[in-house]
Structure 1
Amino acid sequence: MKIITRLFFVILFQFTYIQSSQAQFGDIKDKILGAGTSLASKKLGIDKILKQPAAITTSFEDVNRNGAKMPDFLIKEKAQPLYLLPKAPNGGFFLCAGLYEMTSKSYCLHAGTFAPSSGDGYMFAPVLGPKEEIVTAILKSAEKHPEINQHDIQILLWTIIARTKFADYNGNVKLTAVALLTPIQLTQLEGGVLGILPGNLMEKAKDKLPDNLKAIFEAENKIRQLVASGNYSYDEMEKYAILAGIAPARTDIPSGIWTLHPAGYYVRYFPAGYSKTTVQVYVPKELILSLKDSKIIYDATNDIACPANAGSQRLAQTNEPLNPDYTIKLKTLCVGIK
């Protein structure tokens, strides 16, 4: 019995010593990493930091408003489920003449901004910026990984929007990135990114920014800090990514406005928060007839529902319908598409 008791205290002592050593090592590691980040930031310089391009640059200035139609644009057809259209081999759906609708997953691509409100006008714009291929790849890959939670994908997109180094990824977000991206794509997460900026440098940088960009710049840095810590929840991440309140709507761009897509069809968006969007697509019969033997594809992973109000969130679109009903049958005969 004495031997067992002695052995217990020896093990307890060793465990306590190891835990203490690890804690001390963690403190030293944090200080080294903090110093390294600070030195790297100083070397880069505030002006160069502020000139680093955003990961996704799409703004309302990228919206082509030529051919846009107001919400009362006359369409006689009743909307049919878009997800029932024939699927294209590389993602998306082959379009047929008529009006189609789908409520699908969507993602916030603008940290530090307001969530969509019912009065916001959204129009089509392409995904643009240094990380456009990565963002599109994630949205396409997510379709093949239904086991990955939408929240986990949103956190990954926020880390990319925040220009987080892949070397700083910790926790579940790293597993999500590895599951959705190829090794080559993962290496692309190291380019055009920022480290964690210390408080004094953040304040100096914010002093040089216009008021409408300060919240975004600070939110991105908070997200980088959370990701690097490896200790975060979705709610914590959302607190910095989504501003409380509602941005004032622009009256000249009403909710439900139609954009003439470059491919020739019309599209409009009705966001419900940032995590789901109802999209309507109207395909004129004349467009289909003019294509002859060609086909037209709606692939939402290349699209952003872009708010007219710069204070609201850009919304990445997907081909993933929410609560689809496949018992419904299309009334439209899609000629030449199997």
Structure 2
Amino acid sequence: MKTIKIIGLTFLFQIICSNVTYSQFGISTDLLKLGASTLGIEKLFKKPAAITTSFEDVKKEGSKMPNFFKLGDVQPLYLLPKAHDGGFILCAGYFEMTNKSYCLHAGTFAPSSGDGYMYAQTNGSKKEIVSAILKSAEKHPEINQHDIQVLLWAIIAKTKFINFNTEIKLTAVKLLTKKQLSQLEDGALGFLPDEIINEAKSKLPESIQTIFEAENNIRGLITSGSYSYQEIEKYAIIAGIAQPRTDYPSGIWTLHPDGYFIRYIPSGYSVTKVQIYVPKELIVGLNGKPLIYDATNDIACPANTGSQRLAQTNEPLNPDYSIVLKTICVGAN
């Protein structure tokens, strides 16, 4: 009897977490709810978050207000010498780059002009996967930024790889290794019916109910195979503006763990201006050891938890390579 019960619960769980229509099996929503309750709905939905980085992960010590530094001769960050494993070798001075960025927090507001963003490392069960996608994308300029964003939303929403449509699968195959692709199934869910979602939401803190529902809606669209970018974006990005925090204003500088200062000024979620100040004494103290800025493990984290956290990249937008660096850097052309 115990074996039959386990098999029955396993069957219900597989149906709930698959992309097949449960009505095909003659199973009612009430039965699905019963199965979820029997399994323990808290455990059913307690899947590890793909990315967990929050403002609590930001180290505020050493941060500076926006006008603390008088920006002198700001030079293009993308003209600095490239590091062997990716990123740029920093020199003393001020540098900036407007680069591609990506939303990593479905069900939140887009950045507004008053939002303060600070540096934090990428954390979560899929941090290596996300960083690998951003790093690999540098070698595949033919892949549209929207296609990469949809792939990231699919991962953030815990979508099963088997449920990706052909276009998303092709993007994933280009950017990830076979081993990394197999890891996409870990902690994934299928689309869940409204009745189960509503029951689960009632057991979740109000602050994450919207995110939970947004992720499920994204899974549903991706699983359906028929959607537009705008439809997914509608669930990923909440309409409106989150109330900015005055204690961490736009343009605030974070003291990076490596000793330089960095700040982020987003324009929406897909474009971010990154500015870096590298003190001369920091470079001198390294005694020739390279100081590398590699954005693919960086998140611009909003002080307002209702706003988007933004993955950063080493990919400049509209670079002008006719400019010549005024600063002499080791390894520069």
Q: Counterparts of 1:337 and 1:210 in 2: how far apart (Å)?
A: 51
| Corresponding residue for residue 320 of structure 1 | 315
| Superposed CA offset, 1:103-123 (max 9, x none) | 000000000000000000000
Q: Which residue of 2 aligns with 1:92?
A: 87
Match of 2:56 in 1: 61
Alignment equivalent of 2:67, drawn from 72, 82, 93: 72
Q: Which runs of 4+ in 1 moved over 4 A?
A: 27-30, 32-44
Alignment length, in residue pairs? 312
Deviation at 1:297? 0.4
Cα distance change on mapping 1:230 and 1:33 into 2, 3 Å:
farther
Q: Tell me the SS of whatever aligns to 1:226.
A: helix
Long gaps (5+) in structure 1: 1-26
* Per-residue deviation, residues 109-164 of structure 1 (Å, max 9, x unmatched): 00000000000000000000000000000000111111110000000000000011
Residue type at the aligned position of 1:279: V
Distance across 2 between alignment mates of 1:28 and 1:306: 37
Aligned partners of 1:115 and 1:243 also within 8 Å: yes
Tell me the secondary structure at the aligned position of residue 148 of structure 1. Answer: coil
Conserved 8 A contact 1:97-1:283: yes
Q: Which residue, 206, 223, 248 being the options, matches 2:243?
A: 248
Q: Which moved more, 1:142-151 or 1:193-202?
A: 193-202
CA contact (8 A) 1:41 1:197 kept: no
CA contact (8 A) 2:191 2:216 kept: yes
For structure 2, the residue ranges without an aligned partner over 5 or more in a row are 1-18
SS at match of 1:111: coil
Q: Distance in 2 between matches of 1:332 and 1:242?
A: 40
Structure-1 residue corresponding to 2:145: 150
- Counterpart mapping for 1:18-167 below 5 A: 31-32=23-24, 38=32, 44-167=39-162
SS in 2 for 1:330: coil
Equivalent residue, structure 1, for 2:325: 330
Identical amino acids, percent of aligned pairs: 67
The code of the aligned residue for 2:40 comes to G
Larger Rg: 1
Is 1:220 aligned with 2:215?
A: yes
RMSD of the TM alignment (CA)? 2.1
Structure 1 equivalent of residue 16 of structure 2 = none
Report the 3-state secondary structure (helix = DSSP H, G, I; strand = E; otherwise coil) of the residue aligned with 2:61.
coil
**Alignment match, 2:12:** none
- Matched residue of 2:114: which SS? coil
CA distance in 1, matches of 2:179, 2:59: 33
1:205 aligns to 2:200 (yes or no): yes
Are the counterparts in 2 of residues 171 and 227 from structure 1 also a CA contact under 8 Å?
no
Task: Please state how far the C-alpha of 1:49 moved relative to its aligned partner.
Answer: 3.2
How many angstroms apart in 2 are the aligned matches of 1:183 and 1:34? 37
Distance 1:32 1:224 in 2: 20
Question: Which SS does the other structure have where 1:237 is aligned?
Answer: helix
Structure 2 counterpart of 1:168: 163
